[in-house]
Amino acid sequence: MLPRKELGLLLLLVVISAITEVLNPLFLSGVNLLDMANLIGLFGIFSIGEGLTIITGGIDLSVGSMFSLLGVIFIDLIANRNVGWPLALLAVLAGGLLLGAIQGLLITRARMQPFIVTLCGLLIYRGAARYYTDDSTMGFGYGNAADTLSWLASGRSLGIPHSFIFLIVVALVLGVVLHKSVFGRYLFAVGKNEEAARYSGISTNVVIAGAYILSGLLAGISTIFLVFYTNSVSPSTFGNFYELYAIAAAVLGGCSLRGGEGSILGIVLGTALLQVLQNLVNILGIPSSLNFAVMGTVILLGVLADRQLQKRREVAIALAAQRARPIGSAVPAGRSGNPA
């Protein structure tokens, strides 16, 4: 049985899909479904990484700029420096791990706010990518030496896009890590109350840094898929505002921006719901330039809904505590106002 949040999100996804199908019967066509599956895979992988940082009570604003920097390095290694694709792939994954580790260390060791650290990362990585390429677009050109990796990243097996298959694998693995392992329990504990978690013996610095390292690794993996999806990287625009998409998917999927709440399944469903919403936006004829406005509205509604749920939870806890209080305990002995 699905938890209440995920079940509600799944029902909302079904309802919006049904509305979209009524408005455009081609919505459930095989071509459109496979295209959406590919996009869900592309965006879902790094959205999971974003969700992990949000569960700790932090945030990662640098994801899109990571794609730009790692993307131009990857293409340069293969197209210009004749590095074999396995080594280039390892370099991108190591780069993602390194950037995630640096941000995690700044947050935990230097005690800087995640918002500031990752905002600086957003600016630094994008600027470095533009300087690296002299602000010019990079592509593979002719005679791509990474045909095998290209097929792995952008091909299909049994008609299913590899990006979607990889998302399912990542979701299953990190679902076990988050919901069945000690590290996952520590992530939730740190997000709920970092100080209490520290006093209970949890190495909070290791847990928080681990979340950002995982986010960096998933950003590196996503870079490979995105590069082969576009076949070129323009450092000024590649991955622009993708961090907002990841935040929207995580918040819509039940991750609280206060930390301590969320699930991998919810993030995947949130990613799918965003793709369906974008389909609906296109069908309704809303200009694509308003996509970011739609995304911002989704984040705002998600935060408002989370706030209302939190208020109801607090009221329910207060009522439960009041009912559990012994009769007469509200009035201390000797202070009833009656003469002794």
Long-range contacts of 109-116 (CB under 8 A, 24+ apart): 109/205, 114/53, 114/58, 114/59, 114/60, 115/59, 115/61
**pLDDT for position 214:** 97
Distance of CA 80 to the CA centre of its chain: 32
Domain hosting 116: range is 4-323
Find tokens 């990841």 and name the residue.
246
Whether 206 maps to a domain, the answer reads yes
Residues 215, 112: Cα–Cα separation, whole Å: 18
Whole-number Cα distances in Å, 180 to 6, 141, 211: 17, 45, 16
Q: Would you say 122 and 239 are in contact if contact means Cβ atoms under 8 Å apart?
A: no
Long-range contacts of 323-332 (CB under 8 A, 24+ apart): none
Q: Residue 100, CB half-sphere, CA atoms under 13 Å: how many?
A: 31
Per-residue pLDDT of the chain (340 residues; tens, 9 = 90+): 677 778 888 888 898 889 888 888 888 888 889 999 999 999 999 999 999 999 999 999 999 999 999 999 999 999 888 888 999 999 999 999 999 999 999 999 999 999 999 999 999 999 999 999 999 999 886 656 678 888 989 999 988 999 999 999 999 999 999 999 999 999 999 999 999 999 999 999 999 999 999 999 999 999 999 999 998 999 999 999 899 999 989 988 889 888 999 999 999 999 999 888 888 887 777 777 777 787 778 778 777 876 777 788 778 888 887 887 765 555 455 444 444 4
Torsion of CA 35, 6, 277, 150, to 10 degrees: -20
**pLDDT for position 148:** 84
**pLDDT for position 20:** 85
Residues 86, 132: Cα–Cα separation, whole Å: 22
Whether 243 maps to a domain, the answer reads yes
Whether 87 maps to a domain, the answer reads yes
Whether 329 maps to a domain, the answer reads no
Q: Model's pTM, two decimal places?
A: 0.88
- Return the DSSP state at 109: T
Whether 334 maps to a domain, the answer reads no
**pLDDT for position 106:** 97
Whether 338 maps to a domain, the answer reads no
Q: Would you say 48 and 171 are in contact if contact means Cβ atoms under 8 Å apart?
A: yes
Residues 190, 259: Cα–Cα separation, whole Å: 8
- Return the DSSP state at 233: E
Assign residue 148 the CATH number of its domain: 1.10.3470
**pLDDT for position 125:** 97
Structural domains in the chain (count): 1
**pLDDT for position 336:** 46
Whether 99 maps to a domain, the answer reads yes
Whether 152 maps to a domain, the answer reads yes
